Amino acid sequence: MKQKKREYFTAEQKAIIWDRYKQGDTLHAIAKMFNRGHTSIQPTIYNAGGIRPPEKKRHPSALSLHEREEISRGLASDKSFREIARILGRSPSTVCREVKRHGGLRSYRASKADKTAWENAKRPKACKLAGSKALCLIIARKMKAAWSPQQISGWLKRKYPDKEELHVSHETIYKTLYIQTRGALKKELQKHLRTHRPVRKSRKTSLKGKGLGGIADAIPISERPASVEDRAVPGHWEGDLIQGSNNSYIVTLVERHSRYVMLAKVPNNKTVTVIKALIKQSNKLPTELYKSLTWDRGAELSNHKDFTLATDIQVYFCDPKSPWQRGSNENTNRLLRQYFPKGTDLSVHSQLRLNQVARQLNERPRKTLEYETPAERFNECVASIG
């Protein structure tokens, strides 16, 4: 059987591929535009780690491919360097050097000369991590402790303010992980990223409404005191349930001021069960540090008045399809998926395991806290009321 000739993408086609990939299109959707299979798109994306290569730029004074093709045609017509230069509006010495540099009168080829010129023009900047083994070891150690590149970058600047050689941007860490030709960080460290992705993905996401009904006597978030909004006062929490397979659930709670996390194991999402778990969690905290709870419109809190009656903690409910109104909790839920991936059975995890995960999150530095940890910020609150 005759083997199908391999087809390559042109520079213009690759630009379209990267544009669509950045917009969040799948490889299948992109490949369909070119009437090809998705595996034909993969090398373009995966060889670059999902990070669009910088656009190549030609120096204004450099010869273009069109000019090189004109030189090639001139040589084939036995024209002199001076004649070719007059047609191009160039100096005869420019044409002479070009031909001598790329094979001479008999071997000059425009496409080959242009490709060689691009290669010779490359001036790659050395990766900072490639020249610092000590810095690579610090980054690897922190990543194995489940720190994100951004947390590592911020922590390094806070820990070593006077050592510029130990400062590195989170973007440099990501690029070094995804673009393996840099060779400074091992590919195995990718598994410690929260997404576990082998390439960078587009940030384009969609928010899907849950279509849940109303909750009796729910107090809307618009009636929540203004003092809660600026996060200056501790004691105001955001909560939610994350779901796994086999109808398994975990209660997640985040304190707005410090981003301190608490997790609770629940056997189901029935309102009686969830309310009982929330009451138990509230009893672990001083009353000064648990003043309100903001939740979405999930039916698991339909008995919210029982919670308020038992704890004297007011519950506020977000507007429909408005997850950003519990931004801290939504962000925490994304972080938790590193430990509890979607589609896995959450019931296999003990409360001890949940406490361990919460502790690890609370001991990570956070950019929004100027790279303090939630535990440090929360302990300050505890000390202030002691």
- Check which CATH number belongs to the domain holding 254 and give it: 3.30.420.10
Report the Cα 73 to chain-centroid distance in Å. Answer: 50
Structural domain ending residue among the three candidates 175, 192, 209:
192
Please list the residues that pair with 213 across neighbouring strands. none
Over range 186-210, report the average pLDDT: 65
Note if the pTM is more than 0.75. no
Is 51 a member of any domain? no
Q: Are residues 116 and 132 in the same domain?
A: no
Same domain, yes or no: 146 and 243: no
Q: Round to the nearest angstrom and report the end-to-end CA distance of the chain.
A: 82
In the chain, % of residues over pLDDT 70: 91
Q: Which residue has the higher pLDDT, 164 or 259?
A: 259
Q: In the chain, where does DSSP find H-type helix?
A: 11-22, 27-33, 42-46, 65-76, 81-88, 92-101, 104-107, 110-121, 133-144, 149-159, 170-178, 226-229, 271-282, 304-311, 327-336, 351-362, 374-385
Average pLDDT for residues 297-326, to the nearest whole number? Answer: 90
Do the domain assignments include residue 58? no
Q: Which domain holds residue 29?
A: 11-46
Instruction: For residues 110 and 186, state if they share a domain.
Output: no
Please identify, among 84, 103, 121, the residue that sits at the C-terminal boundary of a domain.
121
Q: What is the 3-state secondary structure (H, E, C) of 261-272?
A: EEEEEECCCCHH
User: What pLDDT band is residue 350 in, cutting at 50, 70 and 90?
Assistant: very high
Distance of alpha carbon 347 from the chain centroid? 28
- Mark whether 228 and 366 lie in a shared domain: yes
**Residue 76, C-beta contacts closer than 8 angstroms, at least 6 positions apart:** none
Is residue 5 situated within a structural domain?
no
| pLDDT at position 56 over 80 | no
Residue 302 lies in a domain: yes
Same-domain status, 168 and 229: no
Mean pLDDT (whole number) for 313-340? 90
On whether the CB atoms of residues 210 and 319 are closer than 8 A, the answer is no
Nearest of 163, 164, 184, 162 to residue 173 by alpha carbon: 184
Quick: pLDDT tens for 73-92. 999 899 999 999 999 999 99
**Contacts of residue 125, Cβ cutoff 8 Å, sequence gap at least 6:** none
Average pLDDT of the chain is 86
Asked if 135 and 82 sit in the same domain, the reply is: no
Instruction: Categorize the per-residue pLDDT at 124 as very low, low, confident or very high, splitting at 50, 70 and 90.
Output: low
Q: What is the pLDDT of residue 206?
A: 40
Higher per-residue confidence, 305 vs 25: 305
Whether 311 and 175 map to the same domain: the answer is: no
Q: What are phi and psi of 244, to 5 degrees?
A: -120, -170
246 & 332 share domain: yes
Number of domains in the chain: 4
Supply the pLDDT for residue 359.
96
